[in-house]
Chains A and B, each alone.
Chain A
Amino acid sequence: GQNIDQPTEMTATEGAIVQINCTYQTSGFNGLFWYQQHAGEAPTFLSYNVLDGLEEKGRFSSFLSRSKGYSYLLLKELQMKDSASYLCAVPDSNYQLIWGAGTKLIIKP
């Protein structure tokens, strides 16, 4: 079967760097998505990785290792507005997304 694991909650300081990990088990691999979800709001797309390596997009970067079934989201120069849940998702064999439970990131001043 398929499974996605993420830490439930993380705390970081404004201005710092935080890495949010995601491990997955899938029967095949069709890429990995990261979404951001502020409390009470809808998820919004952050990144999509299908090849190994790091993809940088401003303050946010996403890394993928297919051989290890592992991804992380790296957030730099943290701002208070980055307080949110970060969701990892992978498509199954029918391209329907399987979602992790999300990591709640708390930013402290």
Chain B
Amino acid sequence: TAGITQAPTSQILAAGRSMTLRCTQDMRHNAMYWYRQDLGLGLRLIHYSNTAGTTGKGEVPDGYSVSRANTDDFPLTLASAVPSQTSVYFCASSDSEKSPLHFGNGTRLTVT
């Protein structure tokens, strides 16, 4: 089934450790996004990429980095995790900036 695959599904990470959340799409969408979702708050954009080779900062980029080496993959890296990064992380893609987003199933990250 076409769509977006995120890995891992969940993870417990010790503070100070690094981790990469993986995201792959097979819809050949140009734009990809990383959001975090916290209870009582709307989805907040961390980083985005409008096309392969380019990335941009969203609303809450600090502590996170991304790369977009090709169309399909958009990994999110936490260089040194902190407890405030405990959240559910969603990767999404869209065909264009005016198109609906397609979301992955999310990664539930707990930083202890």
- Do A and B belong to a common assembly? yes
Q: Which residues of A approach B to under 8 Å, CB–CB?
A: 4, 30-31, 33, 35, 41-45, 48, 87, 89, 91, 95-102
Our pick among B40, B98, B104 for the contact of A31 (Cβ within 8 Å) is: B98
| B42→A96 contact, CB < 8 A | no
Q: Which residues of B approach A to under 8 Å, CB–CB?
A: 40-45, 48, 58, 90, 97-98, 100-106
Q: Is the interface of B mostly helix, strand, loop or mixed?
A: loop
Q: What chain B residues lie within 8 Å of A35 (beta carbons)?
A: 101
What is the bound-complex CA distance between A99 and B42, given in angstroms? Answer: 5
What is the bound-complex CA distance between A102 and B104, given in angstroms? Answer: 19
Given contacts A42-B90, A96-B48, A96-B58, contact A101 B101 (CB under 8 A): no
Q: What chain A residues lie within 8 Å of B44 (beta carbons)?
A: 99
What is the bound-complex CA distance between A101 and B103, given in angstroms? Answer: 17
Q: List 29 A-B contacts (CB under 8 A).
A: A33-B100, A35-B101, A42-B90, A42-B103, A42-B104, A42-B105, A43-B43, A43-B103, A44-B103, A45-B100, A45-B101, A45-B102, A48-B100, A87-B42, A89-B42, A91-B97, A91-B98, A95-B97, A95-B98, A96-B45, A96-B48, A97-B43, A97-B45, A98-B42, A99-B42, A99-B43, A100-B42, A101-B40, A101-B41
| B42→A102 contact, CB < 8 A | yes
Distance (Å) between the CB of B16 and the closest chain A CB?
Answer: 29
What is the bound-complex CA distance between A96 and B98, given in angstroms? Answer: 9
What is the bound-complex CA distance between A102 and B40, given in angstroms? Answer: 8
| A41→B105 contact, CB < 8 A | yes
Q: What chain B residues lie within 8 Å of A91 (beta carbons)?
A: 97-98
What is the bound-complex CA distance between A45 and B94, given in angstroms? Answer: 11
Which residue of chain A has the shortest Cβ distance to B35 in the bound complex?
A99
Q: What chain B residues lie within 8 Å of A41 (beta carbons)?
A: 105-106
| B43→A87 contact, CB < 8 A | yes
Distance (Å) between the CB of A26 and the closest chain B CB?
Answer: 14
Which residue of chain A has the shortest Cβ distance to B104 in the bound complex?
A42
What is the bound-complex CA distance between A97 and B40, given in angstroms? Answer: 17
Distance (Å) between the CB of B31 and the closest chain A CB?
Answer: 9
